[in-house]
C-alpha cells in the first residue's frame, strides 16, 4: 500500500467511518460536492435539451433519380459538402438556457418486401438545403415527402409476430484512419467503377414479403476542429514534435489529486506525487518512413483535406417470425459493409455490445430483448446518442458518398426505385397557375390534403385521374 494511504489510515484509526470522516474533513468534501454538482448539471442539461428537441420538426423525403444515372460519386460528395452549411456554433445562452444543440440528418436506404427506396430525414428548417443540394447535382430527381415508414410497424418489436436483428458499425481503429472509398473500386484499365453498395442492394432486392432491411447513417455537421488531433497524429507518424495536451477529465483528475495532495502534505506530511509529463518521442523521421508508412500518412492527409461529419452507421433486419432468417440475411449485410475495410488503415465492424447477438451468462433472454428494444428505438428516433460509445466517429464526404449514393447505371437490382422518365422544364408559354392553387416544382409532389404527406406509388400517374370527356368506343 502506498505511504500516502498508510498515513491516512493511521491518522483516521481502525474504524472505516473514522477514516471516511478524516478524508471528508481534510478536503474530501470538495470532491463529493463537485460530484453532486456534476450529477445535477447533467440532469438539468438533459432536461433542457429534451425540451428543445421537442420543438424541432422533421420531414422524411423519398428520393428517386433517373434510371439512366450517369452522375459520379463526386456529385454525392457535393451533396454532403453542402450539408456543412447547417453547422452552427450556439452561444452560451442558447446552450445552457435554451438547450440548443447541433441538429442532424439521417441518410437511409430501406428495403420493404424487396422494394428499395433512398430517403433523407431532415429537420424541416433544412428541407430547402437538402432539396437544393440534390437538384444541383441531379436536376431530374424526384423528391417526395412521405410518412415515416418506421411507424408502420409495432412499437413493441420483438413480439410474437415480429423479430429483429441489428446493430451499429463502429470504426476498426482511430476515426482519423479512412475506410476504403469508392476511388479504390475503380478499374483504371477500363476506366469503370464498380458500385461499392451493389452487394447490399442485391440483398435488399431479394427480400420476400414480410421482411425489411433498414440502413441508416446519422450525419451531424461539426466544426473543422476535429482535424486538429488528426494533424497531430500525422506529425507523430512522421516524427514531428507533438505538444502534450490533457483532456477535460485529466485536468479535473490531476487538479483534484494535487489539491488533496497539498492538503495531505500540510496535515500529515505526505502527499501523492504529480503525474509525470507525457512524452511523445518521435518514432521515425520522414525520410526514413517505409512505403507502407508513407501510404498511411498520405491516406490520413487525404481524409483530413475534406469536410468531415460526426456519424453513426446502423443496420437492422426485421421480419415476420415465419420468414425471419438471420443466417440468410445478416452475414451478407456484414460482408457488404466489411468490404470497406483495410488492414493498414480504417474500416467498419459490428459493435459487439450494441449488436443484438444473444447475451451470455446471466439473464440471457431479458438482456437480449433489451438490446433489441434499444437498437429498434435508436432507429425509429434517429438517435445520435443511443448506441456504441465508439460509434459516433468522423467520416468525410468521400467516405459518406461511398456508403450512401444513388446506384450506378450498371446496378440491376430489379426493385430499386428510380425515376422512369427524364423530366424537363415546361414550355414558357403555358398558362400561369391560378392564385391559391397548389404548385409542383421539379418532381416535388404537391400536398393536396392540407399538410398530409403523400407517398408516391410505383406506376402512379397523379391524383387528378383521366379526363371525363375521353372518346369511348
Residue in the structure block whose three cell numbers are 479535473: 252
Q: Which range among 56-60, 350-354, 393-397, 436-440 shows the weakest confidence by mean pLDDT?
A: 436-440
Rounded to an integer, the average pLDDT of 370-375 is 92
Determine the pLDDT at residue 20.
Answer: 66
User: For the segment 72-102, what is each residue's pLDDT rounded down to a tens digit?
Assistant: 899 999 999 999 999 999 899 999 999 999 9
145 within 8 A of 445, measured Cβ to Cβ: yes
With vertex at residue 344, the alpha carbon angle to CA 339 and CA 347, rounded to the nearest 5 degrees, is 35
pLDDT score of 273 more than 60: no
Rounded Cα distance between 225 and 256, Å, is 28
Determine the pLDDT at residue 72.
Answer: 84
User: For the segment 397-410, what is each residue's pLDDT rounded down to a tens digit?
Assistant: 999 999 999 988 76
Residues above pLDDT 70, as percent of the chain:
71
The closest of 155, 149, 85 to 115, measured between CA atoms, is 149
Determine the pLDDT at residue 366.
Answer: 87
Rounded to an integer, the average pLDDT of 286-291 is 79
Prediction pTM value? 0.76
Residue in the structure block whose three cell numbers are 502534450: 244
Instruction: Quote the cell numbers at residue 34.
Output: 463537485
Spatial neighbors of 340 by CB under 8 A, at least 6 apart, are 179, 180, 181, 196, 347, 348, 402, 403
| pLDDT tier at 113, thresholds 50, 70, 90 | very high
User: For the segment 239-251, what is each residue's pLDDT rounded down to a tens digit?
Assistant: 877 776 666 666 6
Instruction: Quote the cell numbers at residue 219.
Output: 450525419
With vertex at residue 145, the alpha carbon angle to CA 141 and CA 148, rounded to the nearest 5 degrees, is 125
Mean pLDDT computed over every residue of the chain: 80
Q: Which range among 117-121, 284-288, 292-296, 384-388 shows the weakest confidence by mean pLDDT?
A: 284-288
| pLDDT tier at 460, thresholds 50, 70, 90 | very low
Determine the pLDDT at residue 459.
Answer: 43
Determine the pLDDT at residue 260.
Answer: 65
Rounded to an integer, the average pLDDT of 444-455 is 39
Rounded to an integer, the average pLDDT of 270-282 is 53
Amino acid at each position: 500500500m502506498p505511504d500516502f494511504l498508510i498515513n491516512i489510515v493511521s491518522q483516521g484509526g481502525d474504524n472505516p467511518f473514522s477514516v471516511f470522516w478524516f478524508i471528508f474533513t481534510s478536503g474530501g468534501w470538495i470532491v463529493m460536492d463537485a460530484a453532486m454538482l456534476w450529477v445535477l448539471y447533467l440532469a438539468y442539461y438533459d432536461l433542457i435539451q429534451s425540451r428543445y428537441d421537442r420543438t424541432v420538426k422533421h420531414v422524411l423525403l423519398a428520393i428517386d433519380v433517373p434510371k439512366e444515372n450517369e452522375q459520379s460519386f463526386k456529385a454525392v460528395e457535393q451533396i454532403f459538402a453542402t450539408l456543412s452549411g447547417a453547422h452552427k456554433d450556439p452561444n452560451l445562452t442558447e446552450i445552457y438556457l435554451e438547450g440548443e444543440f447541433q441538429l442532424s440528418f439521417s441518410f437511409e436506404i430501406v428495403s420493404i418486401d424487396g422494394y428499395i427506396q433512398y430517403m433523407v430525414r431532415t429537420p424541416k428548417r433544412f428541407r430547402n438545403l437538402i432539396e437544393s443540394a440534390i437538384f444541383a447535382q441531379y436536376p431530374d430527381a424526384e423528391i417526395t415527402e412521405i410518412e415515416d415508414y418506421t411507424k408502420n410497424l409495432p412499437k413493441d418489436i420483438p413480439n410474437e409476430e415480429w423479430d429483429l436483428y441489428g446493430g451499429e458499425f463502429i470504426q476498426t481503429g482511430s476515426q482519423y484512419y479512412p475506410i476504403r472509398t469508392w476511388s479504390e473500386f475503380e478499374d483504371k484499365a477500363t476506366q469503370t467503377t464498380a458500385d461499392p453498395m451493389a452487394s447490399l442492394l442485391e440483398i435488399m432486392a431479394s427480400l420476400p414479403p414480410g421482411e425489411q432491411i433498414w440502413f441508416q447513417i446519422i450525419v451531424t455537421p461539426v466544426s473543422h476542429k476535429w482535424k486538429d488531433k488528426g494533424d497531430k497524429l500525422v506529425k507523430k507518424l512522421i516524427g514531428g514534435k507533438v505538444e502534450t495536451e490533457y483532456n477535460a477529465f485529466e485536468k479535473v483528475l490531476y487538479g483534484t489529486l494535487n489539491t488533496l495532495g497539498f492538503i495531505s502534505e500540510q496535515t500529515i506530511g505526505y502527499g501523492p506525487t504529480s503525474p509525470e509529463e507525457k512524452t511523445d518521442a518521435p518514432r521515425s523521421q520522414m525520410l526514413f518512413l517505409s512505403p507502407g508508412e508513407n501510404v498511411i500518412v498520405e491516406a490520413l492527409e487525404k481524409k483530413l483535406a475534406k469536410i468531415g461529419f460526426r456519424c453513426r452507421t446502423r443496420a437492422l433486419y426485421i421480419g415476420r417470425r415465419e420468414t425471419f432468417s438471420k443466417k440468410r440475411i445478416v452475414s451478407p449485410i456484414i460482408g457488404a459493409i466489411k468490404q470497406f475495410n483495410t488492414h493498414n488503415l480504417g474500416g467498419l465492424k459490428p459493435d459487439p455490445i450494441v449488436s443484438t447477438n444473444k447475451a451470455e451468462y446471466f439473464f440471457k433472454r431479458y438482456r437480449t430483448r433489451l438490446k433489441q428494444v434499444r437498437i429498434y428505438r435508436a432507429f425509429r428516433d434517429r438517435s445520435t446518442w443511443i448506441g456504441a460509445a465508439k460509434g459516433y466517429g468522423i467520416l468525410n464526404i468521400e467516405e459518406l458518398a461511398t456508403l450512401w449514393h444513388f446506384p450506378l447505371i450498371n446496378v440491376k437490382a430489379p426493385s430499386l426505385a428510380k425515376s422512369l422518365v427524364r423530366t424537363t422544364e415546361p414550355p414558357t408559354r403555358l398558362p400561369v397557375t391560378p392564385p391559391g392553387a397548389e404548385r409542383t416544382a421539379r418532381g416535388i409532389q404537391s400536398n393536396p390534403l392540407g399538410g398530409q404527406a403523400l407517398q408516391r406509388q410505383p406506376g402512379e400517374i397523379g391524383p387528378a385521374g383521366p379526363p371525363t370527356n375521353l372518346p369511348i368506343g
